[in-house]
Amino acid sequence: MTSATVAWLAFCTLSNPAGGVPVRVTPAYRDLTAYLSVPPFLEDRLIYYNAFEQTGGKPEIDRTGDVQSGQIVTGPGGVRGRCAVAQEGQALQLSSDAFSPHRPLSVAFWWQLGRDEQLDSTFDLFHLTNGKGFVSHFSRGKGEWCALERPAAVLQVYYLSDIANLNGIYDSDLMAHLDLRAGVWHHTALVFNGGSLIEVYSDGRQVWATRLNGRPFSASDKLHDLTIGSRYGVPMALDEVLILGRALTADEISTYVTAVRQMREVGYPL
């Protein structure tokens, strides 16, 4: 077992080599889940967890009172265990007022494309809406839209009263920075903090951050409808979806991504 894997599992209760009472090597976390893919530092205000091990893609943990739209087709080949397999139009669609970004919120998930990205390809990652206004994270390929020459990474905030529209093309050559071939797992995290700061993380590192202009998000925006995955364009597999009612730190995200990758590499059991 690698040192990184040992660190990842440091929250486990270990037996005293001399026998007797077990000792704990970290603070006394309470009510730990049974899922090794969810470390204790991500359990604080965890409101949703889906590893796609359940029938129909139902979540392992759901404290949001959300409504999940439709059935999710699952299968083997996840970043750990099973996953939501890549099919045309398949995405995880949830609805809950717990997703409103006027409060601290983090949405993190693993994804892989179902076919190789092409110069003119498009795929979605994250879409949070009230039916009109939205926050959306996606990749758009070469074409007339914004005169793109290659697939770009985009974060948009649009049609929310008194919030300035934002078309954040923060990476105009995404294929140069991510391996967008079919079957390669990547991790995305979006962190909302203070009602106005949005941070975007890719494979454990921050790739962009922006603040709203005009006003912060509010409960009255009713941004409750959340879609994770690609509704249009290149189909996408999903795994290990985590939603927390707090803002994750850069160190937490980096540690988590590194640990999951190493657990996958050594074939650590679920």
pLDDT of 147-195, one tens digit each?
999 999 999 999 999 999 999 999 999 999 999 999 999 999 999 999 9
pLDDT category of residue 32 using cuts at 50, 70 and 90? low
Q: What separation in angstroms does the CA of 127 have from each of 158, 174, 228, 263?
A: 11, 19, 7, 29
Q: Which domains does the chain have, with CATH numbers?
A: 35-249 (2.60.120.200)
98: CB partners within 8 A, 6+ apart: 47, 48, 63, 64, 65, 66, 243, 245
Which amino acid would we find at residue 241?
Answer: V
State the Cα–Cα distance between residues 77 and 222, nearest whole angstrom. Answer: 36
pLDDT of 5-24, one tens digit each?
344 454 333 333 444 444 44
Question: What would the two tokens of residue 227 be?
Answer: 């879609």
Under a CB-based contact definition with an 8 Å cutoff, are residues 260 and 37 in contact? yes
State the Cα–Cα distance between residues 229 and 126, nearest whole angstrom. Answer: 6
- Residue in the structure block whose two tokens are 């717990």: 98
